[in-house]
Amino acid sequence: CGRNFAQLNAYSNHVNSCRPQKKRMASALETAKETYRLRKKARLHTTAAASEPHINQLHEPQSGPTAESSSTSNSIEDESHCLAVRRPRRLNRQLPLRYRQDQPMPPSSLPPSILPQQKEAISKASSSDLHTIQPVRQLLESRCNTFGLFRQYHGIAFPTHDPDADVERADLSEVVSDHPGEAITVSDSLFRPYPNQSAFLLGEWYWNGGIQKTKEDFKKLTNIICADTFDPLDIQDVPWDSLNRRLGESSDSSEDVWCNEPDAGWIESPITISIPFPNNSSNPGLRSYTFPPFLHRSIVSVLKEKMANSHDFQHFHLEPYELRWRRGLEGESTRVHGELYTSPAFLEEHNKIQESAGEPGCSLPRVLIGLLFGSDETHLTDFGSASLHPCYMYFGNESKYRRCKPTCNLCNHVGYFHKLPTQFRDFATLHAGVKGPTEKFMAHCEREYLHAQWKELFDDDFLDAYEHGVIIECCDGLKRRFYLRIFACCADYPEKVKLCGIRNMGDSPCPRCLVSKRKLDLVGMEDDNEQRSSQARVDTVLHRKKIKDARKYIYGGARVVVNNTTSVEPLLKPESLVPAQNAFSDKLSHFGFNLFSVFLVDFMHEIELGVWKNLFLHLLRILDCIKNAAATYTMDQRFREVPSFGRDSIRRFANRVSKLQKLGARDYENLLQCSIPVFDELLPNKAHNNFLLELLFTFAHWHALAKLRQHTDLSLTILESTTIELGHSLREFEKNVCPFYATQESSQEASTRERQTAKKLAGSKSAGASTASNPTSTNKTFSLNTYKFHSLGDYVETIRRNGTTDSFSTEQMELEHRSPKSHYRRTSRKMFEKQLSQIERRQTRIRRIRQRLNNSGKMRFTLSLEKGPESSACAYHIGKTQNHPVDLGSLAPKPLVNLNFQDFVKKLKEHLLPRILSRFQIPTTSNDSVQVAENSLLIKDNRIYNHKLARFYHTTYDVRRSEDVVNPRTSHCDIMLLADVKSDDNTPNTQSMHPFLYARVVGIYHVNVVYVGPGHDITGYEAMRFDFLHVRWFRLDSHSGLGWSSKRLDSLSFPPILDHDAFDFVDPSLVLRGCHLIPKFSLGRCHPDKVGLSNMARDARDWKSYYVNRFADRDMVMRYHWGLGIGHTYS
């Protein structure tokens, strides 16, 4: 733009908001993307031409860095440059492997599906030969990437559509700065139904920008209005109401008139069911009742819309594969479990489709579509009774990392279920008589109505696509035949029992097996594992006949739904069944579909809000019953002292955790992750205290392993053994610890119990009444005979068959509830389901217009919506500003005040010298490094520059990029580094040596230094910037636990502050990541009077010892499982 700046930081700040610069960068970015695409295409063809003829042997690992070139012809010889610039450099300089964190990358790109040699052979073959050649399916392996990951396909050739080939670095990153706001690009394409560009930008901002407008939304609006292309006259006479109505209406045809793409609109279908009234009612017999129209979408139409969307199709996996990991160059590979489309269940179903006879005369590629359903009722307001029961649908062919992000918009709303309306109870009372319908009768009608709505979702088009497949022309111009399969139906336990047709907490309460209620507490025992497999629920002909006979008796003669012990109960009670129709069984059983196989484990409701919540509540009861001790108060106080960690991994706890007010699943998760230091020495019995700490350690370990987003066969073995340990520990806790404490209900539990009792005695009209203002607490014991505890034993096999739990967790569904809750505020609160469906269509169609404009390539205007720090491709980020200088001379006169700054300059130079020599490869000429550093380094202006923040980027165990923000002025000031754990034979020895070092960051600085020692002509006397951290070391306590077998957290403490090695300097590039340290509350603080020795070290609030929380997040857990984290290449 031509502006001049006197300071470099002012120029840097201006670049972030300079509009001409943004336009040039946008143009350069598009050019670079096109160039990269062409180069990649040429490279693939070159690789294919040079590859071996047998494509099923492409599994050798990629070669390492290229050798150093001996030619120096490309060296810079301009005499105006300093010697440091003109000197040839090694092209393959890298950190040692143990200090290196490789950048995340997807599996290696696949070679072309047909190599040039094969094309030539096919072209020479005659037509008769081609008819006689039968395609042979074989095992095809891709090459290993940097992390040892490779893919195995079982097919004729490698797939032509490879979504992993288009994965960019930002797609593998959890760092906010790697995901800039979507650029607003405007082209000359039509904006219909919007009349012009200005109207479209405002409509998009209003409908797709969120209902709660933020400062960022305000900035977007000002950018739209202030743009050169915005004209107020364009929006002066826009008919907004009719325009919004057209965007939200459902089209009767399969092709939308203004989008030229398939559009899955909403359908209203009336539901009619037969209600059986018994012979002793006032109007006995079958009575039909028609409910209000059910609002839903065609699943096949949703699939067609998905395949026509080029943006979604780009990330859609049409052919599954097995992902494997080879730890060494020549070692055995192990299976990697994560995505649904790499799971054995998906691959087996895919192979069945490929090996079937197929449709007559059809040679189109066959594609398996994995459907994941989610169903749960949610309240739409904080006050009032407005609720919604949506049915969500995800495609398992899409990555779970994209499905869990609401901004990707991959959740499809396919139906809004209705409850029994209030008018139905009036209808039932009219025919049932004076006493009215019983609760069991109403529950039966509720199940009938729910499954009648599910049957509308499984329409004729769905069933035809399930059996014969549906032919769809995708956005790439190719036609394929798609087969629909259901792999999971995510719901909480009350919803599951309705959908699978069993009794709520009956004699066999598990939806997956027939284990008796009396044996639900045998998790981890051999008999329990055998019963799970031998007594698995299967939708057999006999199972369907039992329900059919029961319904025949109820609807054909007696018409008694309940209290029928002579005819119905002998058929249904042994397997805890109910006489309700089942949409899954009625519609899909003749295809070989087993409805019980899709009701998988639910980690959030079964563990975090189930088993762990139950254990934590009982621990609160134990603390309450301890006499002469304020144990509960101490626990609340300790939880308040637990520091937060990460962006949202560990959050601050409430003032009084014991009240359990408004705690969600993630809050209970944090309670488990931080419970060991809090409960340490709270129990008066030392043996009970030690056992409780071991139990909490085992539970936290199991929780972390079961919630991993990427498993291998090796880690599943550890999870299996930990499941056995956890089951045994919980039974021991119930048997040997709980009887020593006379536990009673809490006041909240007593109030809830008495309200429920009042509701049963007085009827529904006084359901909210309480029998007493001060309810009396009764004895309460700890019980493991629950379905949720029983479900612990299913996690290993579920992950091994269907992938990791986050792929089918109800957390995604609960997160999606935010969408209808926010949309509800834009409705009139009357008949809001239809208005919600219109808002869904409106937002989808606006996104489609935006994608079409972005794909047109005719860019004329670009707005940058978000800025952040540098890319996470580097190891760390420290700011460039020099606005906070620190004069080194001012530190020397006050050593008694700032003890950590003693010999500061001398130690700093000693730290910087090896880094300078390593950067320029200058050989060391003296053994006295201290003297050399003192004489060879000059600090420019005798200043260092202070920074508030440092961002450290690291590759996680599941090959993603994440960040930790370190701020010395907050609790986020602790870091961890790799220790030298090598034994005498130069192999890692993590069994007897701790693999990490820990430090507290006291300051973040950079310095400009000039090297004047031997070899100074290479640097040219130019000032060089070096970042460094001033840290205070922790030391590992002698009694600290070593390894997982000790079932103890590692404990640390500070060395005396006057020790020579208490403080040091650290190269930021060597920082592994931040760590979470929790005080060892039982030992107390170092300075009870809160008066420390050093202001800069802030030691006034130091604790005597700290626990290293290895359960802070899943990546932290896998760092202590040395060698099992795929992304942790250093191990």
d(CA 935, CA 495): 75
Give me the residue label for tokens 């037509």: 127
H-assigned helices in 491-563: 493-500, 526-534, 541-556
Q: Taking 80 as the threshold, does the pLDDT of residue 591 lie above it?
A: yes
Residue 1119 has phi, psi (to 5 degrees) of -70, -25
Q: Are 680 and 1080 in contact (CB under 8 A)?
A: yes
Neighbour count for residue 386 (Cβ, 10 Å) = 13
Nearest to 910 by CA among 1009, 783, 1024, 1041: 1009
Angle 1045-1051-1053 from CA coordinates, rounded to 5°: 160
Close Cβ partners of 903 (under 8 Å, ≥ 6 residues apart): none
- Comparing C-alpha atoms, which of 808, 816, 807 is closest to residue 414? 816
**pLDDT digits 0-9 by tens, 975-1020:** 999 988 665 555 666 666 889 999 999 999 999 999 888 776 766 7
pLDDT-above-90 percentage for the chain? 53
Q: Which strands form 961-966's sheet, in the order they lie side by side?
A: 876-877, 950-955, 961-966
The 3-state DSSP class for residue 934 equals helix
Can you tell me the distance from the alpha carbon of 767 to that of 4, in angstroms, rounded to the nearest whole number?
A: 74
| Run of H or E residues at 401 | helix 400-403
CB atoms within 10 A of CB 165: 14
Please give the residue that has the higher pLDDT: either 4 or 904.
904
- At residue 595 the predicted structure's pLDDT band, cuts being 50, 70 and 90, is very high
What is the tens place of the pLDDT at every residue in 609-623? 999 999 999 999 999
Sign, Cα dihedral of 744, 750, 754, 755: negative
> What's the CA dihedral at 1043, 1046, 1050, 1051 to 10 degrees?
-150
- Residue 77: pLDDT above 60? no
For the sheet containing 711-712, what is the strand order? Answer: 138-141, 149-155, 322-326, 333-337, 711-712
Q: Which of 612-621, 798-807, 927-936, 953-962 has the lowest mean pLDDT?
A: 927-936
The packing angle between helices 686-706 and 713-732, to 10°, is: 150
Average pLDDT over residues 473-502: 95
Considering only the C-alpha atoms of the chain, give the largest distance between any 2 of them, rounded to a whole number of Å.
Answer: 108
Extended beta strands in 675-821, E state: 711-712
Strands annotated E in 93-246:
138-141, 149-155, 184-185
Quick one: pLDDT at residue 254? 41
In the predicted model, what is the mean pLDDT of the chain? 83
Mean pLDDT of 544-565: 79
Question: Given a cut of 80, is residue 704 above it in pLDDT?
Answer: yes
> How much is the average pLDDT of 313-339?
91
Q: For 64-68, 479-483, 645-649, 814-818, which range has the lowest pLDDT when averaged over its residues?
A: 64-68
pLDDT at 563 over 60: no
- C-alpha count within 13 angstroms, C-beta hemisphere, residue 64: 8
Question: How far is Cα 1020 from Cα 1013, in angstroms, rounded to an integer?
Answer: 11
* More confident: 429 or 987: 429
pLDDT in tens, 1033-1077: 999 987 776 789 999 999 999 998 888 888 999 999 999 999 999
Q: Check residue 1081 and give its pLDDT.
A: 95
1078-1113: pLDDT as tens digits: 999 999 998 888 787 877 778 888 999 999 999 999
Nearest CA to 266 among 444, 23, 432, 456?
456
Model pLDDT for residues 369-390, shown as the tens digit of each residue: 999 999 999 999 888 889 999 9
Task: Report, as an integer, the average pLDDT of 318-342.
Answer: 91
Give me the pLDDT at residue 259, please. Answer: 58
DSSP symbol at 229 = T
The confidence score (pLDDT) of residue 825 equals 92
Relative to beta strand 862-863, strand 138-141 is unpaired
Q: What 3-state DSSP class applies to 624?
A: helix
Residue type (1 letter), 48? A
Angle between helices 197-208 and 832-856 (to 10 degrees): 130
**Per-residue pLDDT at 82 exceeds 50:** no
Q: Are 450 and 498 in contact (CB under 8 A)?
A: yes
841 contacts 265 by C-beta, under 8 angstroms? yes
Residues 938-954 have pLDDT tens digits of: 999 999 999 999 999 99
- Of the candidate ranges 96-105, 315-324, 565-574, 898-907, the one whose mean pLDDT is the lowest: 96-105
Give burial (CB, 10 Å; 0-12/13-18/19+) of 686.
Answer: exposed
Measured distance CA(894)–CA(743) in Å, rounded: 58
Cβ(1037)–Cβ(1077) below 8 Å: no
- Predicted confidence at residue 29, as pLDDT, reads 72
Confidence tier at 762 by pLDDT (50, 70, 90) = low
Q: How far apart are CA 736 and CA 850, in angstroms?
A: 64
Q: Are 1091 and 1085 in contact (CB under 8 A)?
A: no
pLDDT value of position 999: 96
Q: Where are the alpha helices (DSSP H) in 827-871?
A: 832-856
pLDDT at 661 over 80: yes
Give the number of C-alpha atoms closer than 13 A to the C-alpha of residue 622, restricted to the C-beta side: 24
**Domain limits, the chain:** 188-252+834-868, 258-308+365-501+592-600+808-825, 603-744+779-798, 876-1120
1107 within 8 A of 1051, measured Cβ to Cβ = yes
At 835 the pLDDT is 93
Would you call 888 exposed, middle or buried from its count of C-beta atoms within 10 A (0-12, 13-18, 19+)?
middle
CA angle 135, 138, 140 (to 5 degrees): 125
Q: Please report, for residues 65, 426, 646, 687, 744, the alpha-carbon distance to residue 681 in angstroms, rounded to integers and kept in the order given.
A: 54, 59, 28, 10, 22
Residues 731/714, Cβ–Cβ less than 8 Å: no
What's the mean pLDDT in 835-849? Answer: 91
For residues 118 and 921, which has the higher predicted lDDT (pLDDT)? Answer: 921
Question: Which strands, in side-by-side order, build the sheet including 1035-1036?
Answer: 1035-1036, 1051-1053, 1106-1108, 1077-1079
In terms of C-beta density within 10 A (0-12 exposed, 13-18 middle, 19 or more buried), how is residue 774 classed? exposed
Show Cβ contacts of residue 440 under 8 Å, excluding neighbours closer than 6 positions: 561, 562
pLDDT class for 513, splitting at 50, 70, 90?
very high
CA distance 1061 to 997: 14
Sign of the torsion angle spanned by Cα atoms 358, 361, 364, 370 = negative
CB–CB of 227/205 below 8 Å? no
Which is more confidently placed, 680 or 9? Answer: 680
Which residue did the predictor score with more confidence, 589 or 96? Answer: 589
- Look up the pTM and report it: 0.86
Where would I find the H helices in 209-331? 215-225, 240-248, 299-308, 310-313
pLDDT at residue 912 above 90? yes
Query: Does pLDDT of 1130 surpass 70?
Result: yes
Which DSSP letter does residue 341 get?
G
Among 240, 236, 201, 238, residue whose Cα is nearest residue 220: 201
Q: Is the pLDDT of residue 768 over 50?
A: no
Amino acid at 848: R
pLDDT digits (tens, 9 = 90+) for 137-174: 788 888 898 899 999 998 888 888 888 776 776 677 77
Q: Which residues pair with 966 in a beta bridge?
A: 950
User: How does pLDDT run across 173-209, given as a tens digit for each residue?
Assistant: 777 655 544 444 444 456 778 888 888 889 889 998 8
Cβ atoms of 795 and 719 closer than 8 Å: yes
Name the nearest CA neighbour of 1049 among 673, 757, 711.
673
Band (pLDDT 50/70/90 cuts) for residue 928 is low
| Element holding 668 (H helix, E strand) | helix 665-673
Which residue reads 């701790």 in tokens?
994
Rounded mean pLDDT, 344-370: 94
* CA distance linking residue 330 with residue 707, whole number of Å: 30
Whole-angstrom CA distances from 798 to 34, 281, 344 are 43, 47, 11
